[in-house]
Structure 1
Amino acid sequence: MDMMMPEMDGYETIASIRNNPSYEDMPIIAVTAKSMMGDREKCIAAGASDYISKPVDIDQLLSLLRVWMYE
């Protein structure tokens, strides 16, 4: 989930997805270009499963995907 989207930001989008019982267990990885103190916690509080900042390290992203897709 890109956190810096136009119209509806990632926080609102994640909250909207989590409000649907069908998607409450779906893994959502938050991706943001603006990595600031507290961003990870804010993303997790909004309902993200995990967090990664840009530029995305492909190995780190694949590792996160393996963790969340395994569950």
Structure 2
Amino acid sequence: MVLMGIMMPGIDGCKTIRQILNQARFKKLPIIALTAKAMKEDRDKCIAVGASDYLCKHVDAQRLFSMLRIWMYK
């Protein structure tokens, strides 16, 4: 599982998600996108590039743990 920051200095998180998932051994790797933006377009963009799920910062710990449990068992 990967928790991927989308808006990092010098790194495009969406591009990085694509690069990870383009590797055959990581095709089914769950990736949760983390971003400070909370707009629907941002969520849609992350899901479109292959993120399994999406969380806005400041992350609610209970929601994160729930999401981790869901994706760890898929």
Q: TM-score, normalised by structure 1?
A: 0.94
Q: CA deviation at 1:45?
A: 0.3
Give the partner amino acid of 1:66. R
Once superposed, what is the RMSD of the aligned Cα atoms? 0.8
Q: Post-superposition, which runs of at least 4 consecutive aligned residues in structure 1 deviate over 4 A?
A: none
- 1:47-58 matched pairs, under 5 angstroms: 47-58=50-61
Counterpart CA distance in 2 for 1:33 and 1:13 is: 17
Unaligned residue ranges in structure 1 (runs of 5+): none
Counterpart in the other structure of 1:5: 8
Q: Which residue is equivalent to 2:46?
A: 43
Total equivalences in the alignment: 71
Indicate the percent of aligned positions where both proteins have the same amino acid: 55
CA distance in 2, matches of 1:65, 1:42: 21
Matched position secondary structure for 1:35: coil
Unaligned 5+ residue runs, structure 2?
none
Larger strand proportion of the pair:
2
Render the CA deviation track for 1:24-66: whole Å, top value 9, x for unaligned: 1000000001212311111000110000001100000000000
Question: What TM-score results when the alignment is normalised by the length of structure 2?
Answer: 0.90
